[in-house]
């Protein structure tokens, strides 16, 4: 459910290797408070099991997921307004990014748009970004086209790999497709380049 709005060119190595070699990479996930970030991370690990009860994330949560032959670490950042200025300190960790929005709370879309715009300005165009509309199962949830328009995604996507997809962390619909998207769009070349910069500088683009 969803579509890729913009996609950067693939490297020669990835056109040859595709996803035949295992990948190890990190996703940084941000979004407003109550968007469902912790539930989604739990669903990545418990795709066929009931979700545990969650509490509001105050700082960060890190979980590593085995997905087929791939090893994916998800760094979830708390979404309270007092924490958001700290997000940028963690962006250097990510090979790729999730911005999670509550599709059932359109009254907060303008707030989410503002935070997404700040994130966009901090992250290199090399890094794939997935805009996820969570809680698509709830009454009042809006469609993906409306989410994308409200967040101004089309005007930000030029020159980078960006997609908008819908998920429901509670029902389990969508998270597997999310992981597949990242495996397909986080290239071996990006992983190598990002890791090399981090090794020498402790930061990345």
Cβ atoms of 91 and 30 closer than 8 Å: no
Backbone angles phi, psi at 188, to 5 degrees: -60, -40
CA distances for 33 relative to 77, 115, 150, angstroms: 10, 12, 18
Which domains, and CATH codes, for the chain?
Answer: 2-192 (3.40.50.300)
Q: Is 167 exposed, middle or buried (0-12, 13-18, 19+ CB in 10 A)?
A: buried
Q: Is the pLDDT of residue 115 over 80?
A: yes
pLDDT at 180 over 50: yes
- Give 3-state DSSP helix, strand, coil % of the chain, rounded to 5: 40, 25, 40
Condensed to tens digits (0 to 9), the pLDDT of residues 51-93 reads 656 656 667 889 999 999 999 999 999 999 889 999 999 998 8
Contact yes or no for 132/66 (Cβ under 8 A): no
pLDDT digits (tens, 9 = 90+) for 127-164: 999 999 999 999 999 999 999 999 999 888 788 899 99
| Averaged pLDDT, 33-53 | 80
Indicate yes or no: pTM above 0.75: yes
pLDDT for 159 equals 86
> Residue positions in the annotated binding site?
31-38, 57, 79, 134-137
Angle in degrees, CA 64, 27, 54, rounded to 5? 60
* 16 — pLDDT class (breaks 50, 70, 90): very low
Mean pLDDT on 16-21: 59
Mean pLDDT, rounded, for 84-103: 94
How far from chain centre, in Å, is Cα 32? Answer: 13
Q: Are 187 and 10 in contact (CB under 8 A)?
A: yes
Least confident span in 42-46, 110-114, 120-124, 163-167: 42-46
Q: Give me the pLDDT at residue 92, please.
A: 86
Determine contact, residues 162/128, Cβ cutoff 8 Å: yes
Q: How far is CA 87 from CA 122, 142, 158, in A?
A: 10, 27, 23
Residue 102 near residue 67, CB atoms below 8 Å? no
Average pLDDT over the chain reads 86
The CA radius of gyration of the chain, in Å to the nearest whole number, is 16
Q: Look at residue 166 and give its three-state secondary structure.
A: strand
Q: Which residue has the higher pLDDT, 48 or 86?
A: 86
Binding residue positions for GTP: 31-38, 79, 134-137
> Given the DSSP bridges, would you call strands 2-6 and 162-166 parallel, antiparallel or unpaired?
antiparallel
Share of the chain above pLDDT 70, in %: 81
pLDDT at 199: 75
Tokens of 181: 């998207």
Residues flagged as binding site for Mg(2+): 38, 57
How many CA atoms within 13 Å lie on the side-chain side of 71?
A: 3
């Amino acid at each position: 459910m969803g579509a890729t709005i913009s996609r950067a060119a693939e490297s020669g190595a990835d056109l040859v290797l595709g996803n035949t070699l295992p990948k190890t990479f990190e996703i940084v996930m941000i979004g407003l408070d109550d968007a469902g970030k912790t539930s989604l991370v739990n669903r990545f690990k418990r795709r066929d099991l009931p979700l545990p009860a969650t509490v509001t994330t105050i700082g960060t949560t890190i979980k590593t997921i085995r997905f087929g032959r791939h090893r994916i670490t998800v760094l979830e950042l708390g979404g309270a307004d007092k924490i958001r200025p700290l997000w940028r300190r963690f962006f250097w960790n990510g090979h790729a990014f999730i911005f999670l929005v509550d599709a059932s709370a359109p009254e907060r879309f303008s707030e989410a748009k503002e935070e997404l715009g700040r994130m966009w300005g901090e992250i290199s165009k090399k890094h794939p970004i997935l805009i996820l509309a969570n809680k698509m199962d709830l009454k009042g949830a809006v469609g993906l086209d409306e989410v994308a328009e409200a967040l101004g995604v089309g005007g930000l996507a030029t020159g980078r790999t960006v997609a908008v997809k819908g998920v429901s962390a509670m029902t389990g619909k969508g998270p597997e497709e999310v992981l597949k998207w990242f495996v397909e769009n986080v290239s071996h070349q990006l992983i190598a380049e990002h890791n090399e910069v981090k090794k020498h500088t402790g930061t990345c683009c």
